[in-house]
Amino acid sequence: MTTEIPNNVDLDHDQQLRRALAMWHPHYLDWWREAGPDGFDSSQVYLRTAISVSPEGWANYGLVRMRDYRWGIFLAPEVTDRKIGFGDQMGDPVWQQIPGEYRKDLRRIIVTQADTEPASVEQNRLLGRTAPSLYDLRNIFQLNCEEGRHLWAMVYLLQKYFGRDGREEAAELLQRRSGNPDHPRILNAFNAPVRDWLDYFCFSMFSDRDGKYQLAALAESAFDPLSRTTRFMLTEEAFHMFVGESGIQRVIARAADVMAASGREDLFELGAVPLAVLQKYINYWYTEALDLFGGEDSSNAATWFAAGLKGRFQEEDQPEHLALDQVYELRKADGAVETIAMRRAMNAVLRDAFVKDCQRGLKRWNRELEHRKLDARVYLPAISFNRKVGALAAIPCNPEGGIITQEEFARRRDEWLPTEEDRLRVAALMKPVYEPGKIASWLTPPVKGVGGKPALDFEYVRFD
């Protein structure tokens, strides 16, 4: 079975790894059946499969049954003579094996990242029932398959470099379940239910973008196999964020069309999503993603930076790479500034890069409204709004960042975050559209199709 696994890690000559994978693979398939996309087991999907890492042809497209998808193991090409790019051992050669003293930390880093991959598949499990078009249905399945492959990528590291501990961690990754009260996924946002396509698009925009920044920080790692795996994962991650960003953009474009034509803002009856409701989804998922970066003042972050385990986003663009004798100024909700030693503030530094990236996305979304000469805009709430993790979690704030009481937050929560009624009205819009050439009313057609095929007039998914 394992020799059919596409890979560039010389699996054929690695008996130990082959044995570990052969044990794990059937459990992975059980997990996929039980927790992966529901109801499409015999459908054929027009999917992209990673077959190599060469830039010309790393992916090929074809109709595949998802259960037959060939999850593979790929590392980005080795950089010859790569040196550690930051921290106390800067300039030393990178490691091909794990130094004993960093084993525990690296295991924790890899398991935490790994755990998010199957979680997101579990969260999306039911969304195939309500896809707005075959194009969108195909994209969510593509994402699911790639998140599955990301799990493989992390399991490869665990099984190859962590011996028995790694094999146990790999097994447990298939046992935890998103949202399961007894055995949940590690990070909060990955236990939050993704109930409809607005959730899913926002999740891909914001939570997957957290993933991009985490992977980019790990791509700097002195542990070279981790750097190479994450570098290849990043090429897939770009598509996930495209799905989220373009998905919301199409929702806004439809809302804007309907607003311009009708002069109304209560769009549910007109088959579109009111911007005020979309804004609540943005508020929710954006702030969940901010929490994923962890505490602003973190001794783990400092240790990991010093050791060369986890760097900054595009470390090579930083003016210097030691981050000693520098401070990060954290502005609290009440305007007070807390000074944190730079190495301890690496979570906040990474989060700031993420926020900037999100702001660029919002600008593109708002262009849909500007083009149609509408005054309405969507926005990102203040980073102190609705926080549960870190220094900003202590003080309740409104979306503008103004300090309010706990009572006011509770009283006005429904103005700012999705309510049960919002969700029911959104759910009522989400009727599946599975005919080539057609699309649901609540979003505009995609600008471009996939793999050279037409955007709507193609049977991206064939039901049996």
> Of 240 and 387, which has the nearer Cβ to Fe ion?
240
- How far is it, in rounded angstroms, from Cα 448 to Cα 51? 24
H helices present in 38-133, as ranges = 103-123
Binding span for Fe ion by CB under 5 A among 18-26, 82-90, 102-110, 116-124: 116-124
Task: Give the C-alpha separation, 200 to 124, whole Å.
Answer: 7
**312 sits near Fe ion (criterion: CB under 5 A):** no
In the stretch 139-178, what mask flags binding to Fe ion with x, by CB under 5 A? --------x--x----------------------------
Residue 210 engages Fe ion in binding (rule: CB under 5 A): no
How far, in Å, CA of 147 to CA of 150, rounded?
A: 5
Based on CB atoms, which residue is closest to Fe ion, 119 or 397? 119
Taking the complex as a whole, the smallest distance from the CB of residue 213 to Fe ion amounts, in Å, to 12
Residues 233-292 that bind Fe ion (CB under 5 A): 240
Closest contact distance (angstroms) between CB of 46 and Fe ion is 19
Tokens of residue 272, six digits? 């579109």
Which alpha helices (DSSP H) does 293-332 contain, by range?
299-307
Burial profile 32-67: b = 16 or more Cβ within 10 angstroms, e = fewer: beebbbeebeebbbbbbbbbebeeeebeeeeebebe
DSSP 223: B
Write down the least CB distance from residue 146 to Fe ion, Å: 7
Please identify, using beta-carbon distances, which residue of 117 and 291 lies nearer to Fe ion.
117
Distance in angstroms (rounded) separating the CA atoms of residues 160 and 225? 10
The owner of tokens 């409701």 is 277
Smaller CB separation from Fe ion, 240 or 280: 240
> Which among 11-19, 117-125, 322-330, 344-352 is the span making contact with Fe ion, rule CB under 5 A?
117-125
Nearer to Fe ion, 152 or 365 (CB): 152
Instruction: Give 209 or 343: the residue with its C-beta nearer to Fe ion.
Output: 209
- Asked if 48 touches Fe ion (CB under 5 A), the answer is no
Closest approach, Cβ 33 to Fe ion, in A, equals 20
Q: First vs last Cα of the chain: how many Å apart?
A: 26
Report the nearest approach of Fe ion to the CB of residue 229 (Å): 11
Q: How far is the CB of 139 from Fe ion (least distance, A)?
A: 12
Report strand pairing: 44-50 vs 337-341.
unpaired
**Count of positions on this chain that bind Fe ion (CB under 5 A):** 5
Residue 175: phi and psi, rounded to 5, are -100, -35
The distance of closest approach from Cβ of residue 117 to Fe ion in the complex, given in angstroms and rounded to an integer, is 5
CB of 313 to Fe ion, least distance (A): 16
The C-alpha atoms of residue 422 and residue 321 are separated, in whole angstroms, by 47
Torsion, CA 269, CA 271, CA 274, CA 277, rounded to 10: 90
CA pair distance 37, 128, nearest whole angstrom: 7
For Fe ion, the binding residue among 122, 208, 296, 297 (CB under 5 A) is 208
Report the candidate in 191, 362, 404, 370 with the shortest Cα–Cα distance to residue 278.
Answer: 362
Q: Closest approach of Cβ 149 to Fe ion, in Å?
A: 8
CA distance 198 to 378: 14
Listed ranges 232-240, 248-256, 279-287, 422-430: which one lies at the site for Fe ion (CB under 5 A):
232-240
Taking CB under 5 A as the binding criterion, the range among 114-122, 168-176, 256-264, 352-360 that sits at the site for Fe ion is: 114-122
Binding residues for Fe ion, rule: CB under 5 A, are: 117, 147, 150, 208, 240
